Structure 1
């Protein structure tokens, strides 16, 4: 359930989305990890054809990073999901009660970005000119694909996407829930175009930084700001729109839960329980086991 697709929410914020997803029934373990695909050191092979030596280096760094992630964050995911399960065992939930989960996810995301910076710096510095050109073309192609995916910004399309995501975890929406989703959609600030612009800005800045990748000090200085949370670089209007839509979405998630009949709540609890169990079984697992569980 990629909430990154919601208008006004920052794209590809995997850990934040994991926590936000708690409110609507969690997500799959594969999703929780795979949303790092915009961070080049993990998914570089999605954008660039690597040679044998680069593949070995990438796999070695991925194994080390999964080990770090397993030891530092995976146990916290399980605890957070159990806390959410307890919160949602009550009759009602307030949007304000969901906010700390989102803040916790944002903190995790910042830690992941900081941990990935050395990997990104080493792997990107080793790209050949032809690979940088390939990366530029891949960025342009994926940007076109994303734009096509979200070019229909109508209320009907947005409502349909949200209902589909919620139904995966709650089951069929009730008339009252559908009415609430429609009200949410109508109230959102339009931010999709600004999100696409910020995505293109980040990609362009990375490509510019790669022009000095042979100069270690200069490249490190150019790359480091790109692997930090990007809100500080957003235009004020976009930042305000994101904040407003985030609040509206948390309110929607709380209301959908509060309107949920018993059968929906039971289904949600089962999904949360299963997801927490997956993380509990992986906590402190060996890197090879974690990689296998993620389909690597």
Structure 2
């Protein structure tokens, strides 16, 4: 899929915005520049990240190690977003009022679909959904789930903070702030304000949601660390094999 991102990215853009011919030319050029930068600079960083993750699997991990990998992954995402910022800002300043309404309507529709899918779930249903999803993830990476690991996952799903409502409220708050900033796209401070907003979305978290997200993050890191103490040799070999496949893919993509 990576080699088709120059087609995929504009395809998804169409869900939110109809571009004029001039804007489409700007966007296509920006996409190619961005993808060239990404292949040249970022794939090697991803490879190093996965290599470090693979090396850490030789022995059980600590919660602090897992949290560090979380931080490193977030740094890679921030790097991607920061590089794309000039292109995003450049396109933003070209938007018409009609296009702004189009974006807002598409974002509203996204939130409506999420509320339909997740907002009406009971707490029990949500925990069951997350538990089954975690079973599937662990099974994919380890090749199987032992009874001991299933018990760890079950306890995690039963004790984590339910953040569904906070997350849905945040999505709507994000939409409102994003549209409000776009309405000021011709102001002197627009580029700085929009950059800060997109690079630091947690700034608009409600206090209770922020605390719950932080607690769940630490909790998940501890669960991953706990799971790593239970890996049997067959599972550890399976995990190493899966990570090796990603490393090979990244090497191939980087050299193409």
Task: Report the TM range for the smaller structure's normalisation.
Answer: 0.7 to 0.9
Larger helix fraction of residues: 2
Q: 1:6-31: per-residue Cα shift (whole Å, max 9, x none)?
A: xxxxxxxxxxxxxxxxxxxxxxx75x
Name 1:20's counterpart in structure 2: none
Q: 1:44 aligns with which of 6, 13, 18?
A: 13
Aligned-residue offset at 1:255 = 2.1
Q: 1:150-192: per-residue Cα shift (whole Å, max 9, x none)?
A: 2324222221121122222223321111111111111111222
Q: Structure 2: how far apart are the matches of 1:64 and 1:76? A: 18
Q: 1:201-247: per-residue Cα shift (whole Å, max 9, x none)?
A: 1111111122232x252432442222212223322322221111011
Unaligned stretches of 5+ in structure 2?
Answer: none
- 1:251 maps to 2:222: yes
Aligned-residue offset at 1:266 = 1.8
Aligned-residue offset at 1:54 = 2.2
The 3-state SS of whatever aligns with 2:177 is helix
Moved over 4 A (4+): none
Alignment of 1:8-87 (within 5 A): 43-87=12-56
- 1:227 maps to 2:198: yes
Root-mean-square deviation (CA, aligned residues, Å) is 2.4
Q: Which has the larger radius of gyration?
A: 2
Q: 2:135 aligns with which of 146, 163, 181?
A: 163
Name 1:115's counterpart in structure 2: 83
Q: 1:184 aligns with which of 152, 156, 169?
A: 156
What TM-score comes out, normalization by structure 1 length?
0.76
Taking a change above 3 Å as real, the CA distance of residues 207 and 197 of structure 1, as seen in their structure-2 partners, is same
Contact 2:82/2:199 (<8 A) preserved: yes
What TM-score comes out, normalization by structure 2 length?
0.87
Q: 1:136 aligns with which of 93, 100, 104?
A: 104
Taking a change above 3 Å as real, the CA distance of residues 225 and 57 of structure 1, as seen in their structure-2 partners, is same
Q: Structure 2: how far apart are the matches of 1:86 and 1:173? A: 22
Q: How many residues align?
A: 248
